[in-house]
Amino acid sequence: MDQTTIRFGIIGCASIAGKVSRAITLAPNAALHAVGSRSLEKAIKFAADNGFPPHAKIYGSYEAVLDDPDVDAVYIPIPTSMHVQWAVLAAEKKKHVLLEKPVALNAAEFDKIIEACEANGVQLMDGTQWIHFPRTAEMGKFLSDDQSFGKLKSVNTLITYDVGPEFLKNDIRSKPDLDGLGALGDGGWYGASASLWATNYELPQKVVALHEPVLNEAGVILSCGASLHWKDGRIATFYCSFLSNFTLDMTAIGTQGTLRVHDFVVPCKEDEASFSSSSGWFVKPSVHTISTDLPQEAFMVKEFSRLVQEIKFNGAKPDNKWPIMSRKTQVILDAVKTSIETGFLPIQIQN
């Protein structure tokens, strides 16, 4: 750890926090510095289980992490309903913010987080990992190849996993007061982010939810889908579910080529991932395999830490590309939710 290493504090001990803690230890420019939970006991156990160094600070509150002057950045994996409160406070304490997705319960809430980060000059990035993975850049090269892919016409994503009865009963993602967007906020976030990624983050003009979403008794979405419509006939469709076998597929079709990937959200293997491409009639897809030295979440931490280093040591401004991407993704989720609530009306998107 050198002088430029970014020191992370983690608030909350969700299971995803274990994965990102490991990523912080793996990223060459980041280090674990502190963890805080409302239960000190939980924080102690979390630190012991997740490779925190002996000198790490372990706190019995979130505030204490934000008040630690040696913390450069906080990773916030707590339930979505608590994001606005804690992300805004983190920004006010001049901590850079790596915020788990979905970033907020709606875009208006997220705007408060953006404002706080802008006012305090701190970097904001959401926890969408796949965007940072080298495979994604390779897929992007294929999509921008006029010869072999042509113009994008459609994107289809299927993001499903069978979460099991324990999750359906007790996980925060099945509680309306915690992660009230349910499968839409979880898998649907990736459907929306993939659709935006493939269209270079151009917002669609119209979003329509598919009929017959499945809700639990408390009204939380367990499965749903939507279609997104851009001008000149481009379309994206996604389907997300907590009730089906593990499937993380994206298929993007252009005028000249087709991209297929079966584990786009999280690769089946950490150090190797593939996608396929095909162009033309009756062409068997070609498989492209990319090897990496870090898991995708470490690429995310590395990029976030690089931006924080630029701000801290080189006087750079926060890169607002990332909060803009997050906000557009959230806008799509909001529209899907509104469409469901209004009986599947098409929702016009303000550009």
Contact segment (CB under 8 A) with a copy of itself among 65-73, 76-84, 131-139, 262-270 equals: 262-270
Pick the binder of a copy of itself from 108, 119, 214, 316 (CB under 8 A): 214
User: 70-99: which residues touch a copy of itself (CB under 8 A)?
Assistant: none
What is the nearest approach in angstroms of a copy of itself to the Cβ of residue 240? 10
CB of 257 to a copy of itself, least distance (A): 5
Closest CA to 187 of 213, 154, 217, 152: 213
**Cβ neighbour number for residue 217 with a 10 Å cutoff:** 7
Per the annotation, the verdict on 101 as an active-site residue is yes
Closest CA to 221 of 90, 340, 92, 103: 340
Longest Cα–Cα distance in the chain: 61
Annotate 209-226 with DSSP letters as a single string.
Answer: EPS--EE-TTS-EEEEEE
Rule CB under 8 A: say whether 212 interacts with a copy of itself. yes
3-state secondary structure of 13: coil
SS3 content of the chain, % helix, strand, coil (to 5): 40, 25, 35
Tokens coding 192: 């929306």
Residue whose entry in the numeric block shows the structure tokens 């396929």? 276
Contact assessment for residue 325 and residue 305, using Cβ atoms and an 8 Å cutoff: no
DSSP secondary structure letter of residue 131: G
- Decide if residue 208 touches a copy of itself (CB under 8 A): yes
Is 257 a binding residue for a copy of itself by CB under 8 A? The answer is: yes
Nearer to a copy of itself, 123 or 339 (CB): 339
Span from 11-19, 207-215, 295-303, 321-329 in contact with a copy of itself (CB under 8 A): 207-215
Q: Which stretch binds a copy of itself (CB under 8 A): 92-100, 111-119, 244-252, 325-333?
A: 244-252
- Residue 174 touches a copy of itself, criterion: CB under 8 A: no
- Please count the other Cβ atoms lying within 10 Å of the Cβ belonging to residue 247: 18
Nearest to a copy of itself of 4, 289 (CB atom):
289
Residues that bind a copy of itself (CB under 8 A): 149-150, 153-154, 156, 158, 160-162, 206, 208, 210-212, 214, 223, 225, 227, 229, 233, 235, 237, 239, 241, 243-247, 249, 251, 253-258, 260, 262-263, 266, 268-269, 278-285, 344, 346
